[in-house]
Chains A and B, each alone.
Chain A
Amino acid sequence: MDDELHARLKAYEGRPAAVAGVGRDPVNAPMIRHWCEAMGDRNPAYTGPDAIAPPTMLQAWIMGGLGGHGRRAHAYNDLLSLLDEVGCTSIVATDCEQEYARALRPGDEVAFDTVIESVSPRKTTKLGTGYFVTTRTDVRVGETVVGTHRFRVLKYAPSGRGPEPRRAGGSEEKRDGKAAEARDGKASRARPRPVVNRDNAGFWEGVRRGRLLVQRCTACDTLRFPWLPGCNACGSEQWDTVRATGDGTVFSYVVMHHPSFPAFDPPYAVVLVELAEGVRMVSNVVDVPYDKVRIGMPVELEFRTYGGGGEAGEGGEELVLPVFRPRAAEAAP
Chain B
Amino acid sequence: MKAGDELPPLEIAVTRTLIVAGALASRDYQDVHHDPELARSKGSPDIFMNILTTNGLVGRYLTDHFGPAAVLRKVAIRLGAPNYPGDTMVLRGRVEEVVGDTAVVRVTGDNGIGRHVSGTVTLTVPTAAADGNGAVPPGGAG
Residues of A with Cβ closer than 8 Å to B? 24, 31, 34-35, 37-41, 43-45, 54-57, 59-60, 63-66, 90, 92-100, 103, 127-128, 158-159, 162-166, 170-174, 178-180, 182-183, 185
**B45 contact set on A, CB distance < 8 A:** 163-166, 185
B25 touches A31 (CB 8 A): yes
**A64 contact set on B, CB distance < 8 A:** 27
**B29 contact set on A, CB distance < 8 A:** 65-66
- Total A-B pairs, Cβ < 8 A: 149
**Interface residue ranges of B8-34 to A (CB < 8 Å):** 12, 18, 21-22, 24-29, 32
B77 touches A95 (CB 8 A): yes
A38 touches B21 (CB 8 A): yes
Q: Give the complex CA separation of A45 and B62 in angstroms.
A: 13
B76 touches A43 (CB 8 A): no
Interface of B (DSSP majority class): mixed
A100 touches B74 (CB 8 A): yes
Chain B: number of interface residues, binned into ranges = 35 or more
Tell me how far the C-beta of A197 lies from the nearest C-beta in chain B, rounded to whole angstroms: 32
A sample of 9 inter-chain contacts (CB < 8 A) reads: A34-B24, A34-B25, A38-B18, A45-B69, A56-B59, A95-B77, A158-B42, A162-B43, A179-B113
User: Cβ of B82 < 8 Å from any Cβ of A?
Assistant: yes
**A66 contact set on B, CB distance < 8 A:** 29
A99 touches B74 (CB 8 A): yes
Interface of A (DSSP majority class): mixed
Q: Give the complex CA separation of A37 and B43 in angstroms.
A: 30
Count chain A CB atoms within 10 A of each CB in B26, B46, B69, B84 and give the residue with the most.
B26
Q: Give the complex CA separation of A127 and B80 in angstroms.
A: 11
B82 touches A39 (CB 8 A): no
Count chain A CB atoms within 10 A of each CB in B43, B68, B76, B80 and give the residue with the most.
B43
Contact with A along B43-56 (1 / 0, CB 8 A): 11110001111011
A172 touches B113 (CB 8 A): yes
B112 touches A172 (CB 8 A): yes
Tell me how far the C-beta of B90 lies from the nearest C-beta in chain A, rounded to whole angstroms: 10
**A24 contact set on B, CB distance < 8 A:** 27
| Known A-B contacts A45-B68, A95-B77, A96-B77; A158 and B43 likewise in contact (beta carbons under 8 Å) | yes
**B40 contact set on A, CB distance < 8 A:** 165
Q: Give the complex CA separation of A199 and B44 in angstroms.
A: 40
Contact with A along B72-99 (1 / 0, CB 8 A): 1111111111101111000000000000
Nearest CB in chain A to that of B57: its residue? A39
| Known A-B contacts A35-B56, A166-B84; A99 and B42 likewise in contact (beta carbons under 8 Å) | no
